[in-house]
Structure 1
Amino acid sequence: MASPLLHKSSHQLRIGQIFRFDIAYKPCSSAEDYAKLPPRSLWLRVRNLEPLALRAAYLAGPYSIYVDCRPLDYERNKKTFITAEQPLFEPQLHPGQTFWVELPCHVFKEEYHWSVDVVSQIIFNTSQLVNFDVCISESRDMSEVVAKANDLVVSVHDTLDLWNLPVPDTSKPIHLVILSHGLHSNVSADMLFLKEAIDNSRENVVVKGFFGNICKTERGIKYLGSRVAEYVVGLLQNEAFENANKISFVGHSLGGPVQTFAIAYLEANYPWVFQKLQPTNFITLASPMLGVAHDNPAYVKMALLAGIAGRTGHELGLQFTEKGNKPLLLLLPSGPTHRVLKRFVRRTVYANAFNDGIVPLRTSALLYLDYQGLSTLLGPQTGQPGDDPKLSAKIPRDLPDAQDSQSLVLLAVMSYFMPQKHSHDESERKLKNEDEEALVEERYLKLPKPLMLESAASLLLPPLPSKKYLTDPESRENVIFHDKVYTENDLPKAEKSVKEVEDEAALISSLNGVKRRSSLQSVGDAERKGMIKMIASKGEEIRLVILGNMTEQLEEAIAREYHKLMLWRKVLVRLKPDAHNNIVVRRRFSNAYGWPIVDHLVENHFDVDLPDELQLTKEDSLDTGPDGAELSKILSVDVIRRENEELDKVPVENAEDTWTQFNDKVDTFDGPAGIFCDISERVLKMKNDWNTVGLKAFLPQYKEEQVTESPTTEEAPKGLMGDFI
């Protein structure tokens, strides 16, 4: 006989949303009552109520959800011996699927507690939603009758509840922590695990993140960063933050450059922020601080140039604009940014050395590493500043290819549009460093380079951690193999000055027919015309090669500016796929390989004292160079607000095909998300028809009836991918 339901609730998930169900069950008042009549175990059922037909509509959703269930007293860093107390999870609960979990009551407890998380997996659209329900009964054979249960209490917390808990002690100094997400990501769901880990530190912290950039990450770093900065200003004007005395920034992937622009914007327009609050931690996790163009193949560079990832793609591709402006990432480390970055107590970058084909090691590790230390692979290193600068060098341009790549082209497009370039198959390479005293020739560590298809496959089909990994901390390997503080003195001698690099890059970029500004006057007309003529005669291939060389030099200029008069702690990690999402633990259990990284971040940056040898001067850096002055102009609050308003005016649906053309005179630029939203509208109509008439919606007769009912209605343009569904 089917058992009645003790609890039933239906909910809807939009992009970035999460529901947490805290289940409290008290069937027995004493051990004696339990011994007389042991209670039956409960059964939990979570169903994705969307139609089966939506399983294939990935670009419009996806319409899947992530679900996990764990005892409330489960701790990931303590060994779990009892099988019934081990966590269970489903990384992709597709439309029409059901997640079952037994909630055991085999051992007497005064009260049993479980926690269930249900998380949206939608990526591309803010209007779509996923319907699901949660039911609890004493048997897996459930009826639809709901019976009241006084001994069962289910507390439901939504996204805003979770991000406003725990309540801080406002009578004590508050450490404000701002989280920033990456391309096609969100703070609310994708960075919740990191938020709660920081909350559990012994410090009186308040962790916040700006939710307003969801589905707008293609509008540019300037757009995203300024909105984050304005959000921070709004928080600090709230009475709840009157006692805030410290501020930290943690960014994942694109969130690194975004938060860099945010602190520059605050320093230029709201200098009181960093006068009132001590800049404490500036942390990036697998962030493309130097862009992503250099390690990409030629076709990806052309795609970025064409606007495949919107303004953001152009900025990450280190492209000069039609107005002749320098790449934003080249200007970003200078001026106000350098001034405030230097005042942070700690600056740390976490970089994936393996299994991350989205953000290369070169750009996430700020280019320079100690190869003698890396070659030992004996575990984490905590070298002191200034250790033998002769043995530090740039990360090689090409790393050996990884093996056994997946051939999933569509998934590669979904993987943030940031693949890496294929290199020639070589068993080993040599790196030469020159200094004033000696020529050091050394073999560098062979770091296999993950390929774009491999990373794309792991984004949607991630290798899942084993039960042993989840329940036995001793079975987890030490994934941090390099941990060292670097100074400007650790860098090899520069081959060219920053100005020389900028002039050469601007000259080569002029081959696109773009007018350049007076910064190129130092290059003679004859030399310019001769080079253009030579390259034009050799064809497109040579031009792309030279552009690649210029990109490498631009990366070096950016990296040196970040290292100027500052210490950087670089932590290199060896994570299993999907390393790019594992490093931030996007989902609690499916990305559990990143737990040690989050633990390391919290333990080394919150409620810790600063070592005496790392004390930094609080004097402001007077960076008055041309790049700093140009960045200061870009940071004008009035100009940025006007540009942001223009970007917000045109709805995404009307931006069809504009993402394939970039013109810096055009203010609106939505990238492929506009196409995905167009697809989403079509899927939404299909979903409504399915719910109304079922399979009849897919019959030709029904479509003819719909056309007959509204003969005067013009057919909407299909768009670039209108035939996808």
Structure 2
Amino acid sequence: MTQKPVLAISHKVALSVGGIIRYRFKLLPCHAKNIDKLQFRIRNSAPVYRNITPSSGPWKIAVALIRNPDKLPVVPELVPSIGCAQVCRLDATVDHDHDDEGCNEWELEVLSEMILQRNWIDIKVEVYVVPRADNTIPLEAAATGNSNNSSQAEGADTEVQPQVLLPTILSCGYKDTRAICGPACPEDVLHAEDEEGLHLVLLTHGIHGSWLDMLYIKEQIDAHTKDNGKTITFLTDTNHAGTEEGIQMAGQRVAMGILEWTGYCDTEQGQQLRKAFASATSKSTTATAATTPTLTQNKAITKPFPRGISKVSIIGHSLGGLINIYALGFIEELTQGTFFREIKPAHFITLASPMLGVGFEHPWVLGYALSLGVIGQTGKDLALENRSSKLKRLTSSASSATSLSTTSSLASNKHSASLSASASAPGLSMECSLDKGPEPLLLAMARPGSASNRVLKLFIDRTSYANIENDMAVKFNTSSMMGIPSFDIDQFFSPEGAATQPKKSIYHSALVSVLALLLPQIPPRSKFLNVADAPSPVVIVEHVEAGSVEKPDGTFDTQDATTAATTGDNGKEANKNKKNKRVGSVKSTTSSNRSTSRSSSGSSSYSSSRSASPSSTSDLSTKSRLDLALLVSEGYHTDMDWTKIGVFIEHEAHVQIIVRRKWYNLDGWKCVQDLVERFDFS
């Protein structure tokens, strides 16, 4: 008979949007023989009435307990949902047969689910040790008066650290959200003005998301580049609970985050910009000044971007891909081209991003709802709504508008700028040329000659990952910009194709997406054990040359398209005629399979509904969403080549493709692995 559990560790903490905390517990070997098991109790302390206020929630947390996390394969114990005023208990048996280092270690991860507003969930975490029946040593004797010392992290606030009551028996390491999601770069490098050759990799989440969405990709890039010491991964957190305000506002916040990290805001002109933009960047759940180290103020700064960053790569999921495109154009105009002359663009990557908007592939009611502002200005942007009414509102409120004029030049190796802005006020908005026309913002960004389009062309490579199926939010045609020339989606779902399941209706996909959000499925143990041998979800990789856009008859011009690896690992033997090819610094494989030139849009009704070329510049208000989408696609394919990657994930694919939750979205691990190995982030 076991004895009564003894409280060993207690911790009260609060989680907000994108909140995650991790504990590393280690049972000291000298006491392991006296302990039967550990009990982990996690309480959601939010009041019970919060369960009926989902509009400001959902007020739930998820838990993962991993034994010996440094040993592979890892099989976690998962609790996908703990509601308000509920308690979860997990028991872990102590291993008495092995006394080697690390045999009795556990990692406990607690994270918040999607929260639509900036609220907090109170959490209480307790760990109990249960002595063995024959243990004659009272555990209370092992307790010491100074219980906090063993858990204090260097530089951390001691008031928020776990309270360790039995430090000689159980040790506890703790990391909060900022420590987990922060940059993978030593502060001394960020403060070193003479450091050169750093590669900044920016990751941007989508609508109603948080920086937690992109954490898995960040951690994989960090692990893959840990030996070079030149890569900084930066998760943007400026748009938490603010993604409905429109691509313009979200993109400006991301742009300011980039300028902060490159050190531009440490210069004299940058400090003025930071002050003027203070209210516009206030959406971050953690203050930018607190997460972004600044250079020594007493040291003269002579470089426009003094942190030694020489390359930048941009990765965006869903709406984040469009936010990034706007941010690039905004930075280009704000710095008058200085940024991308000094810092070279490397990789531009989108993951399930609605590059052509939303609505032309969905039921008409969705596009209509978005155009009415169901999800704010962002919905109108995605529905490719004309912005003339917005501009009228701006004109009528000219008295409160803010103007920004910036001139930048490089002369005698010195960067000078003049910045004039009205006093900082709530709702501060700085507009660039992308915001001055009445046409849809997505079309304005894609237009050849626009600031965003010009910067996109500067990247060594541009890559779009597109879900072929099971993505209710972003369909294949918009994320792949009207498909992949040699890929036949109908053939893929035919009996002799590579798909392991038939093509689903849009209503089935919607139901699966909703259930995946409300009732997350726990992957079976066998899946974790065999993940290394699982097939890759990457079905096709193709390099599409500039100008390979859809013709009026619904087909693609593929004479200049270079096709790459096709349906290899989803049950069909990979094409054996492969050779390595280098596109910029992208690592990809090619094949000679060009058996079809059918558009992967898979719908002849698209072409039959059109009587004129998509490049027509007639009144945009008379054009359908499909016509506008084709115009956007044409803009991105003019003088600009792309690598298009088709991904087939059998379950809800929109969050799986980025592994929004590490242990629950297991099907996307191989897709992230493909991204990390395909690109050189060093």
Q: TM-score, normalised by structure 1?
A: 0.63
Q: Indicate the residue corresponding to 1:243 in structure 2.
A: 308
Inter-partner Cα distance in structure 2 for 1:346 and 1:134: 49
The answer on 1:302 being equivalent to 2:368 is yes
The answer on 1:48 being equivalent to 2:44 is yes
The answer on 1:200 being equivalent to 2:223 is yes
Maintained 8 Å contact 1:465/1:593: no
Maintained 8 Å contact 1:469/1:475: no
List per-residue Cα deviations over 1:547-578 (Å, max 9, x = no partner): 6xx21111111112111122211111111322
Deviation at 1:466, TM superposition (A): 1.6
- Correspondent of 1:234 among 253, 257, 260: 260
CA RMSD of aligned residues (A): 2.9
Inter-partner Cα distance in structure 1 for 2:253 and 2:359: 25
Deviation at 1:272, TM superposition (A): 2.0
Inter-partner Cα distance in structure 2 for 1:489 and 1:257: 21
Q: Indicate the residue corresponding to 2:88 in structure 1.
A: 98
Q: Indicate the residue corresponding to 1:63 in structure 2.
A: 59
Of structures 1 and 2, the one scoring higher in RCO (CA 8 A, sep 6+) is: 1
Q: 1:347 to 1:325 in 2, by over 3 A?
A: same
Inter-partner Cα distance in structure 2 for 1:454 and 1:42: 37
Maintained 8 Å contact 1:307/1:314: yes
Q: Indicate the residue corresponding to 1:343 in structure 2.
A: 458
- Residue range with higher mean Cα deviation, 322-331 or 9-18: 322-331
Q: Indicate the residue corresponding to 1:678 in structure 2.
A: none
The answer on 1:175 being equivalent to 2:199 is yes
Q: Indicate the residue corresponding to 1:435 in structure 2.
A: none
The answer on 1:156 being equivalent to 2:156 is no
Paired AA for residue 504 in structure 2 = A
Inter-partner Cα distance in structure 2 for 1:179 and 1:474: 26
- Correspondent of 1:137 among 108, 129, 133: 129
Deviation at 1:74, TM superposition (A): 3.9
Q: 1:172 to 1:325 in 2, by over 3 A?
A: closer
- Correspondent of 1:223 among 225, 239, 249: 249
SS of the residue corresponding to residue 56 of structure 2 reads: coil
Q: 1:599 to 1:104 in 2, by over 3 A?
A: farther
- Residue range with higher mean Cα deviation, 267-276 or 586-595: 267-276
Q: 1:499 to 1:573 in 2, by over 3 A?
A: closer
> What are the ranges of 5 or more consecutive residues in structure 2 without an aligned counterpart?
134-138, 144-163, 190-194, 264-293, 297-305, 392-436, 494-501, 554-611
List per-residue Cα deviations over 1:579-622 (Å, max 9, x = no partner): 111111111111111111111111111347xxxxxxxxxxxxxx
Deviation at 1:183, TM superposition (A): 0.9
Inter-partner Cα distance in structure 1 for 2:10 and 2:120: 23
Q: Indicate the residue corresponding to 1:319 in structure 2.
A: 385
List per-residue Cα deviations over 1:485-539 (Å, max 9, x = no partner): 1112433445645552x42432x2xxxxxxxxxxxxxxxxxxxxxxxxxxxxxxx
SS of the residue corresponding to residue 264 of structure 1 reads: helix
Inter-partner Cα distance in structure 2 for 1:272 and 1:138: 63
Q: 1:135 to 1:172 in 2, by over 3 A?
A: farther
The answer on 1:483 being equivalent to 2:483 is no
Inter-partner Cα distance in structure 1 for 2:175 and 2:69: 18
Paired AA for residue 581 in structure 1 = V
Q: Indicate the residue corresponding to 1:577 in structure 2.
A: 651
Maintained 8 Å contact 1:462/1:578: no
SS of the residue corresponding to residue 597 of structure 1 reads: helix
Inter-partner Cα distance in structure 2 for 1:165 and 1:363: 31
Inter-partner Cα distance in structure 2 for 1:245 and 1:98: 48
Q: Indicate the residue corresponding to 2:678 in structure 1.
A: 604
Q: Indicate the residue corresponding to 1:593 in structure 2.
A: 667
Deviation at 1:103, TM superposition (A): 5.3
Maintained 8 Å contact 1:355/1:577: yes
Q: Indicate the residue corresponding to 1:559 in structure 2.
A: 633
Q: 5 Å matches for 1:623-662?
A: none
Maintained 8 Å contact 1:4/1:137: yes
Inter-partner Cα distance in structure 1 for 2:383 and 2:490: 31
- Correspondent of 1:276 among 326, 333, 342: 342
Inter-partner Cα distance in structure 2 for 1:218 and 1:372: 34
Q: How many residues of Structure 1 are paired with residues of Structure 2 in the alignment?
A: 487
List per-residue Cα deviations over 1:352-372 (Å, max 9, x = no partner): 111111111111111132245
Q: 1:551 to 1:377 in 2, by over 3 A?
A: closer
Inter-partner Cα distance in structure 2 for 1:69 and 1:165: 25
Q: How many percent of aligned residue pairs carry the same amino acid?
A: 28
- Correspondent of 1:121 among 113, 120, 125: 113
Q: Indicate the residue corresponding to 1:110 in structure 2.
A: 101
Q: 1:131 to 1:276 in 2, by over 3 A?
A: same
Maintained 8 Å contact 2:482/2:550: no
List per-residue Cα deviations over 1:619-640 (Å, max 9, x = no partner): xxxxxxxxxxxxxxxxxxxxxx
- Correspondent of 1:292 among 358, 362, 377: 358
Inter-partner Cα distance in structure 2 for 1:110 and 1:603: 32
List per-residue Cα deviations over 1:630-678 (Å, max 9, x = no partner): xxxxxxxxxxxxxxxxxxxxxxxxxxxxxxxxxxxxxxxxxxxxxxxxx
Q: Indicate the residue corresponding to 1:453 in structure 2.
A: 511
SS of the residue corresponding to residue 126 of structure 2 reads: strand
SS of the residue corresponding to residue 40 of structure 1 reads: strand
SS of the residue corresponding to residue 115 of structure 1 reads: strand
Q: 1:181 to 1:165 in 2, by over 3 A?
A: closer
Paired AA for residue 558 in structure 1 = V
Deviation at 1:266, TM superposition (A): 0.9
Higher helix fraction: Structure 1 or Structure 2?
1
Paired AA for residue 6 in structure 1 = A
Q: 1:286 to 1:103 in 2, by over 3 A?
A: farther
Inter-partner Cα distance in structure 1 for 2:488 and 2:545: 15
Paired AA for residue 5 in structure 1 = L
Maintained 8 Å contact 1:252/1:284: yes
- Correspondent of 1:357 among 468, 472, 487: 472
Paired AA for residue 100 in structure 1 = L
SS of the residue corresponding to residue 523 of structure 2 reads: coil
- Residue range with higher mean Cα deviation, 148-157 or 486-495: 486-495
List per-residue Cα deviations over 1:115-136 (Å, max 9, x = no partner): 2211111421113423332323
